[in-house]
Amino acid sequence: MIKTIYRLVFVWLLCLPAWAGLAQEVQIELGPSQIGLNETFTIKVTLNNDKIKSYDQFPDIPGFQKQGISQSSSMNIINGQMSSSNSIIQYYKPARKGTYTLGDFEIVINGNGHRSPGKQITVADPVSSQSSGGNVFDPFAEFFGRTAEEPEFIELEDDAFFSVSVDKDEVFVGEGLTLNIAFYMSEQNQAPFQFYEPGRQLDAILKKIKPNGAWEENFNITNIEPEIVEINGKRWNRFKVFEATFFPFSEGKIDIPRVPWEMIKYRVAKNPTLFGSNRQEDFKTFYSNGKTITVKPLPPHPLKSEVAVGVYQVRENISNLEVQTGEGFNYNFAISGVGNINAINAPKRLPAANLNSFDPNVRQQINRGYGRVSGIKEFNYFITLNEAGEYNLKDYFQWIYFDPVRAVYDTLAPEAKISVTGESKVNQALSGQRLGGIYDRISTESNQFLNEEYKYYFTTAINLLLLSAVALLAVLIIKKK
């Protein structure tokens, strides 16, 4: 019997990792089967109810170049129950016209592998491609009869720089400021480079440059991938090592100091040979430029310390525009745009009669990509109206925010109008409410008048006892003296 139990426990332990992997809900979505040369193909990985702590490199696609990664997350609160999802999107840019095959592949998310069957991708609208030229070296030119000698290494001129950049020189309190840390190499650069302990160097840099007193939305760059950018008409390979948007809480100055970044730069052999090493490891330190960002206070306003800051729009979704008195309906008030989505509070409920609503269910989605933080936050209300008539919901709800682009306060309000018909349900609504306190005791308390003369005699007796105690204490003190 004991051996049987041991066997069952052993089997359970063997199956436990598999069950843990199954509990992780991962979806892999592939882009469309046909795209144009001016479009991008995507692979999207979504993880439900957990954070993406680590992930493997996305597969290479023949004829495509990786163009960077963006991340997004969403959160739902329904009847007090919270659910969330996190996504990573890898972008691919086609190089030429043709039909390409993305074979089946596996990607590891949080230590667990997940497979996708792949697909065929057709790229339309051809473009001309230019092959890069260069000198060709024949490794056998002097192979025979060569005497062994120590190779001479030389350092090639590089066309590269290291940058800590921000997208704005001044922002308002609560406005997003996107910070990028990246290494750049021009397409004409000939000097060979390799990254040297990027994680350790990045940790040291972030301790110096991260602004204090700001909400951070990190883009979570875990793989250093090249992407083509154009600066002043010149094409560069950009290698991002960090990107995040910060939303400062208070006015003042944010100083970003000059920081170093070390790269392995190889010295190359002046006369390359077929055998032996043709390059020699060396190091070069690049320095970024310092920056100062001014954080401006918001203009005076009664709600200055409470409003969200960003560029927002309102979206409405309503279940019914014609209802009966006392009949409930759902109303969705959604705020979308660019800014700190986490800082968006529920719309203000204006004081008005005949409309009843409960605390809303909340759902939000945050997207981090293309140098900005955007998203949507939805507030879903259940509403009842107890008197017939026409109701403009803008008289009951409003949401005030500050637009940093126009530098003005603005108000988002509903446009929906509700038509209510039927008999008045005001008295019925009152009777259905629990009034509490003294009203809960009416049905249980006696309706007989009480004789309260005993309270007068009781109070008199207590006072006499107190006077007697004081007199006795005074006599004892006098006798003692």
What would the DSSP string read from start to end of 415-458?
Answer: --EEEEESS--HHHHHHTS---GGGGGTTTS--SPP--HHHHHH
Residue 1 lies in a domain: no
**pLDDT digits 0-9 by tens, 116-135:** 999 999 998 754 433 333 33
Alpha-carbon Rg for the chain in angstroms? 36
Residues 206 and 271 reside in one and the same domain: yes
Domain that holds residue 330: 310-427
Residues 112 and 74 reside in one and the same domain: yes
Residues 279 and 336 reside in one and the same domain: no
Residues 97 and 187 reside in one and the same domain: no
391 sits in the region (left: phi over 0; alpha: psi -120 to 50; else beta) called beta
The residues, ordered by sequence, that sit 6+ positions from 105 with a Cβ below 8 Å of its Cβ are 59, 115, 116, 118
Residues 411 and 323 reside in one and the same domain: yes
Residue 460 lies in a domain: no
SS3 label, residue 98: strand
Nearest CA to 383 among 415, 349, 410?
349
Higher pLDDT, 367 or 149: 367
Domain end (from 239, 264, 296):
296
d(CA 301, CA 23): 49
**pLDDT digits 0-9 by tens, 315-359:** 998 877 888 888 888 999 999 999 999 999 999 988 877 788 888
Structurally, how many domains does the chain consist of? 3
Look at residue 147 and tell me whether its pLDDT is greater than 50. no
Residue 87 lies in a domain: yes
Domain end (from 228, 262, 296):
296
Structure tokens at 454: 């005993």
Residues 315 and 292 reside in one and the same domain: no
Q: What is the DSSP-derived secondary structure letter of residue 76?
A: E
SS3 label, residue 470: helix
d(CA 53, CA 66): 21
Domain end (from 398, 427, 456):
427
Look at residue 144 and tell me whether its pLDDT is greater than 80. no
How far apart, in Å, are the Cα atoms of 395 and each of 63, 182, 314, 354? Answer: 57, 50, 16, 12
3-state helix, strand, coil in the chain (%, to 5): 15, 45, 35
Mean pLDDT, residues 164-189: 95
The residues, ordered by sequence, that sit 6+ positions from 154 with a Cβ below 8 Å of its Cβ are 267, 268, 269, 270
**pLDDT digits 0-9 by tens, 272-315:** 766 556 778 889 999 999 999 999 999 999 999 999 999 999 99
Q: Measure CA 304 to chain center.
A: 24
Look at residue 391 and tell me whether its pLDDT is greater than 50. yes
Q: Which of 71-80, 218-227, 334-343, 449-458 has the highest mean pLDDT?
A: 334-343
Residue 144 lies in a domain: no
Residue 21 lies in a domain: no
Higher pLDDT, 12 or 153: 153
According to DSSP, the β-strands at 160-166 and 279-287 are: unpaired
Residue 53 lies in a domain: yes
Higher pLDDT, 22 or 232: 232
d(CA 244, CA 221): 9
Q: 215-229, 404-418, 422-436 — which is least confidently predicted? A: 422-436
Residues 397 and 279 reside in one and the same domain: no
Identify the pLDDT of residue 63. Answer: 86
Residue 248 host element (H or E): strand 234-248
What would the DSSP string read from start to end of 311-360?
Answer: EEEEEEEES-SEEETT--EEEEEEEEEEE-GGGPPPPEE---SSEEE-PP
- CATH number of the domain within which 100 lies: 2.60.40
Residues 34 and 97 reside in one and the same domain: yes
Q: Which amino acid is at 468?
A: S
Residue whose token pair is 């390979």: 237
Residues 184 and 76 reside in one and the same domain: no
Identify the pLDDT of residue 6. Answer: 43
Residues 223 and 348 reside in one and the same domain: no
Residues 277 and 352 reside in one and the same domain: no
pTM of this prediction exceeds 0.85: no
Identify the pLDDT of residue 137. Answer: 43
Identify the pLDDT of residue 381. Answer: 93
Residues 285 and 318 reside in one and the same domain: no
Terminal Cα distance for the chain, rounded: 90
Higher pLDDT, 463 or 74: 463
Strand partners, 392: 417
